[in-house]
Amino acid sequence: MSSAKGLYNFPFSHIYVEEKAADHDLTKKILSRYSKSAIIPIAHYKDVFNRPRQSFSIQKGSPSLILAKNTGNSVFKGAPVCQDFGYDHFYYTSCVRNCIYDCEYCFLRGMYGSGNVVVFVNQEDSFSEVEALLKNHPVYLCVSYDTDLIALENLTGFVRSWTEFTMAHPDLTIEIRTKSFRKDIYEKIPYCDRVIFAYTISPQEIIDRYEKKTASLSERLSAASCAMEKGFPVRLCFDPLIYIPNWKDIYTSMCSDVKKHIDTHQLKDISVGSFRISAEYFKKLRKDFPISPLCQFPYENHGGVMEYPEPVRNDMENTLITLLQNLISKDKIYQTDF
């Protein structure tokens, strides 16, 4: 994309507001923060979000915000490609669709036809769904699955409200996955030992190349460390591992950085997994990024999942696990297998 400076409008320069969501308190709160944006009323969020032939990558240059009410389910059973960390009742919720970060490998590019961000303002309905599940069994809920909730906290306040909700429901554990640098969040939310903050950790070279707009490695480690100081359980996710020709060097040096900045014995656990994505979603990524080595890499299709060829995958995962075993006991390392 030839992108002269000033080509794009600022992020959320346009906010589409669904009729049903217009009167919701959260809608009003969000709109009051974006007084310079153009507000466009819509009948249904899909009229904008599901238009044909949208370009995820172009829209990422100037994402619009869509405020809507989710009238269907918002809590789903975890997919097999997700790491369940040994929890029997693993669910995820989708209160925000899409993310303000711009990772080239993000599965959302394949899952959604749009790079715009949808916020479902009726979080109270997701709470009711979770309460219904909790009547039957404990629940492990990934709340930052289709987005990075911490990155959107100023907008939505969802990290805070999910934390408060979790505190009030002893059988609920939530995971908030992030690539954010924000530490102030830990001052602003109440402490709860069933709120797990999961930081995706990548070498700085991978962040620079493929995880645009996200926090640097040192910022993520510093934020993770801050969460641990406040007593929150913290998980480090070395997932996805991304192949580049000098991957061994950069991942080795990343592990030394982790050791330097984090008291690894305090970590709840660690997850390791090389990049993998549904073949269906991946078709769109390849179209979207014709000149990206990551997207054009000759992956292998194993049962509908695109993965690195086995020798590459094993080499990367085993190397990482060996490096990480110097930092944390083996039983705290979860490797993705499916």
Partner 1 sequence: MIFIVCALAAEAKPLIETMSLRKDTRSCPYETFFAEDSSVVLALSGMGTVAAASATTYLLTRFGFRKEKDFLLNFGSCAGKEEGLFLINKITDEATGRSFYPDMIYDLSSFGLPFSSEKALVTVSKVVDSLSDPNLLYEMEASAIFQAGARFVPPHRILFIKYVSDSGTDDPKKITAALLTSRARKYTSTVLAVLNHLGDVSEPEINIDEELFISTALALRLSETMRCELRQFFAYAQAADIDMEKILFGLHDEGRIPVRSKREGKEVLDVIRERLI
Residues of this chain that interact with ligand SF4 (CB under 6 A) are 99, 101-103, 106, 108, 147-148, 179, 214
Backbone angles phi, psi at 193, to 5 degrees: -80, 0
38 binds partner 1 (CB under 8 A): yes
55 binds, among partner 1, ligand SF4, none (CB under 5 to 8 A by kind): partner 1
Backbone angles phi, psi at 173, to 5 degrees: -120, 135
Mapping DSSP to helix (H, G, I), strand (E, B) and coil, where does residue 148 land?
coil
User: Which two tokens mark 25?
Assistant: 């308190």
1 binds partner 1 (CB under 8 A): yes
Residues 109, 210: Cα–Cα separation, whole Å:
13
Least gap, CB of 326 to ligand SF4 (angstroms): 27
Query: How far apart, in Å, are the Cα atoms of 337 and each of 81, 167, 272, 300, 313?
Result: 8, 32, 10, 16, 11
Least gap, CB of 113 to ligand SF4 (angstroms): 15
Least gap, CB of 41 to ligand SF4 (angstroms): 28
35 binds, among partner 1, ligand SF4, none (CB under 5 to 8 A by kind): none
Angle, CA of 239, 245 and 251, to the nearest 5°:
40
**Angle subtended by helix axes 247-261 and 217-229, to nearest 10:** 30
Angle, CA of 165, 170 and 172, to the nearest 5°:
65
DSSP secondary structure code for residue 295 in this structure: H
Sole binder of partner 1 in the list 176, 295, 305, 324 (CB under 8 A): 295
Least gap, CB of 43 to partner 1 (angstroms): 7
Cβ closest to partner 1, residue 51 vs residue 248: 51
168 binds, among partner 1, ligand SF4, none (CB under 5 to 8 A by kind): none
The residues, any chain, with a CB within 8 Å of residue 37's CB and separated by 6 or more, are 12, 13, 14, 15, 65
Angle, CA of 116, 121 and 125, to the nearest 5°:
130
Least gap, CB of 10 to partner 1 (angstroms): 8
**Of 35-43, 118-126, 211-219, 250-258, which part binds partner 1 (CB under 8 A)?**
35-43
Q: Which chain residues interact with partner 1 by CB under 8 A?
A: 1-2, 4, 6-10, 13-14, 16, 36-38, 40, 42-43, 47-48, 51-55, 57-59, 61-62, 64, 243, 286, 290-293, 295-298, 309, 312
